[in-house]
Amino acid sequence: MSNAHDTMIEQVAHVHAIDQTSVWLDTIRLSTCNSCSMKSGCGQRLMNQAIDCKRSRIELPIPQNMSLQVGDEVVLGVPQKAFIKASLLTFAMPLLVMLMGALLAQWWMLSEPLVVVSALIGLGVGLLLLRLYSQTEKVLNTGQWQPVILRQQRLDQVQELHFTSE
């Protein structure tokens, strides 16, 4: 992790199943809980971990340098550059097309309701363009969005929460 190109965004995952070529991992979406300074006293974090956590299940190739078993914890990584690019594409592109639609309608001196409709049409076009771009073979086959298993999580690094019933 010597430079910005090597920086990874990390997430702990639980090994759910293993077959001949793949490992199935469960991740819990805890937003930014692990980097927040309030994590020890945050009610949102406790709620996420205690009830109805949203889980994602992903399939990855079995890493050759690790011996994984069901129940192990691993650390997944996604390149920060790819994450930022995906975030910009997902959020900024539809909004920019929406703004262009509204600005064009206003430039043509259309009424305010038509400017709003043009903005909504622009948002729809932006979302459609994003969908078409994400389905192109060039994007799908690069592997830049694919998380990788970085390392196994040691037991002393796993954070435990204890709940008491009242």
Q: Where are the alpha helices (DSSP H) in 108-147?
A: 112-134, 137-140
Q: Which residues contact 155 (CB under 8 A, 6 or more apart)?
A: none
Q: Each residue of 25-47: pLDDT tens digit? A: 998 665 555 556 555 555 555 55
Residue 60's CB is within 10 A of a number of other CB atoms, namely 16
Domain ranges of the chain: 4-157
The whole model's pTM is what?
0.61
Concatenated DSSP letters for 68-111?
--TT-EEEEEEEHHHHHHHHIIIIIHHHHHHHHHHHHHHHTT--
Tell me the pLDDT tens digit for each residue of 116-157.
999 999 999 999 999 998 888 677 667 777 889 999 986 655
